[in-house]
Amino acid sequence: MPRPEPSAYRVASLFSGIGGFEIGFERAGFETTFQCEINTFCQAVLEKHWPKVPKAHDIKELTGADIPASDIWVAGFPCQDVSLARMGKRAGLRGSKSGLFHEFARLVGEGRPRLLCIENVSGLLSSHGGRDFGVVLGTLAELGYSLGWRLLDSKNFGVPQSRNRVFVVGCNRDWGCAPQVLFEPERSGGMLEKDRKNGAKTVSPFARIIEHPGRKRAVTKAIAYCLYAESARHTGTDWSRNYVCYPEEGRVRRLTPSECEGIMAFPPKWTDLHVGLEGEALDTARYHALGNAVTPPVAEWLARRVKLYLDREDAFESETVAAVA
């Protein structure tokens, strides 16, 4: 993957996963300065793709001074305790996983990044009747950040998956920033699916027949269900709901990890590593990592919005300094 120019804006990543945020921000011209991830398989993925970027494993052991100066911090903090896919009562921000948000907030208070962006499942909005989301907003507001939030569904960004996530943008001492990043003033026509020919026939809103000359036909979904929300076998529910069916053979199979990379819009073989795991164990690690990831096209859209804001602010500051001089 091509790296940005040295003069690019900088992004630091916490709860990095397999680098979905970083892919999107680098496509928009940002430079990745730092990553923090505790999962050993995800660490290996990050090391493969960002071997020269400084890394940490445990956010609890970090201080704000450990994170290089960066224009924005991004973080997809753990969602397990707030997710609607979790069976039983949700622990919310009191849980050992999602409660790590407080460690992120501690670092924000110490490092004071110019901007921040956090991502989580939509269940964060309803956890404990909305009180947990109130804690997130209140904690960051007390640190001096103006905040905005928006639900973004990956299917609206060219990703073949219905994946609704809440994104919170915070700006240090700039009360007009977050709306500029999250909401476009212009109206667009959306991202409508174009008509497809050459053997692809729609059979339902969620299924598509794929014809291959000389091979058995297969039936799969045009838009996949959210990978995390139904991955119990690996991260929470039932992978069989995302399937490929072979009617003539009477056979149904779940998606492969490589197919899931495509459904998450990651580059091919992004998680195809050999790190002491093989067979089902390796597949499970890949499913889990992909199911918890941020889709790069959504991250890229956010990054381009952030860059527009930074460009405008930096230009205004330069003009002000020149006028005073």
Q: How many other C-beta atoms are found inside a 10 Å radius of the C-beta of residue 269?
A: 11
Catalytic site residue from 36, 42, 79, 171: 79
H or E element, residue 148: strand 145-153
Helices (H) and strands (E) in the chain, counts: 8, 12
Per-chain mean pLDDT for the chain? 82
Given a cut of 90, whether residue 114 has pLDDT beyond it is: yes
| 42 annotated active-site | no
Q: How many other C-beta atoms are found inside a 10 Å radius of the C-beta of residue 90?
A: 21
Query: Do the Cβ atoms of 210 and 234 come closer than 8 Å?
Result: no
Given a cut of 70, whether residue 216 has pLDDT beyond it is: no
Q: How many other C-beta atoms are found inside a 10 Å radius of the C-beta of residue 74?
A: 31
- CATH 1.10.8.80 for domain 10-184+294-324, yes or no, is no
In the chain, which residues fall in CATH 3.40.50.150? 10-184+294-324
CA distance 302 to 79: 20
For 132-181, what is each residue's pLDDT tens digit?
899 999 999 999 999 999 999 999 999 988 899 999 999 998 888 999 99
Chain Cα centroid distance, residue 204: 29
- pLDDT for 195 equals 39
Given a cut of 80, whether residue 4 has pLDDT beyond it is: no
For 15-36, what is each residue's pLDDT tens digit?
999 999 999 999 999 999 999 9
Tokens of 284: 């499970």
